[in-house]
Amino acid sequence: MKTEVILTSNIVGLGGESDQVRVAAGYARNYLFPQRLAIPLTQANKRRLEVLRQRRAEREAHEFNSMSELAKAVSKLICVVTVKTGEDGKMFGAVTSGMIAEQLKTQFDVTLDKRKIHLEHPIKALGEHEVELYLHADVKGTLKVRVESTTPLPAPAAEATPTEARREEGREGRPERRGRRPEGEKTTEKTEAAGDKARTARTERGQKSERPVKVEKTSKAEKAPKSDKAG
């Protein structure tokens, strides 16, 4: 059996203040009326509609301002969620909106209903993800979620650079040559030998030029021939 009531508070999925809705009689009698969330639809109670509408407008304006500020704040945050993975980095399970809401509360003391965190599909990959938030009927936001592994990933093996790889391929393709020196070394040796010969020749010429010139002395007898003395 259904009965009509006037809501005096906002009830998600049912309506807001001043809304007239039909609900199960037992639900109204056992829950809505005792919790003062609704009143019976009567002529006397209809007079309270204007007051309820004013209260609703004030509540929605406050929620709009609060959610707008929250959207700006969370857009600057990075919510980290840690998960277990295998050695290949594959996750066990998935990240849900409930896990994100829990970490927002733990890390930033931000209380957010998990139903406001919109995930088209649960997150099943490590890394950063951008999640949409439906904070209010007229306010949407985004939150960066970084999924990290609690299992250390193995270090990647060092790979040879393209240049080194080409060199190794060239060495494997060429037969090993023994007893022959590279052309560059031969040219260097010839140049050094020629330079040594030139330096040696210049040194010898310098030594010859420094030797003293021997001057042969002529004896006096040779300078003036003896004259015959008269008997």
Confidence band for 88, pLDDT divided at 50, 70 and 90:
confident
Domain 72-149 is classified in which CATH homologous superfamily? Ribosomal protein L9, C-terminal domain (3.10.430.100)
Beta 78-83 vs 117-118: how paired, if at all?
unpaired
Strands, sheet with 117-118, edge to edge from the N-terminal-most edge strand: 78-83, 139-149, 127-136, 117-118
- Max avg pLDDT among 72-86, 174-188, 206-220: 72-86
Q: Which is nearest to 114 in space by CA: 7, 17, 12? A: 12
Domain 2-68 is classified in which CATH homologous superfamily? Ribosomal protein L9, N-terminal domain (3.40.5.10)
pLDDT 10s digits, 146-162? 999 987 655 555 555 56
How many other β-carbons are positioned within 10 Å of the β-carbon of residue 145?
A: 22
* Residue 101: partners with Cβ closer than 8 Å, 6 or more residues away: 112, 113, 114, 117
Confidence band for 87, pLDDT divided at 50, 70 and 90:
confident
Q: Which is nearest to 10 in space by CA: 132, 104, 137? A: 137
Least confident range from 78-87, 102-111, 131-140, 175-184: namely: 175-184
Which helix (H) or strand (E) element contains residue 2? strand 2-7
CB 149 within 8 A of CB 89: yes
pLDDT higher for 178 or 84?
A: 84
Segments making up each domain of the chain, as ranges: 2-68, 72-149
- List Cα–Cα distances, 10 to 6, 18, 81, in angstroms: 11, 9, 32
CB 135 within 8 A of CB 65: no
Q: Evaluate if residue 215 carries a pLDDT over 50.
A: no
3-state secondary structure of 127: strand
H helix intervals, the chain: 25-27, 43-46, 49-74, 97-108, 162-173, 183-210, 220-223
- What span, in angstroms and rounded, lies between the C-alpha atoms of 97 and 51? 37
CB 156 within 8 A of CB 84: no
Confidence band for 195, pLDDT divided at 50, 70 and 90:
low
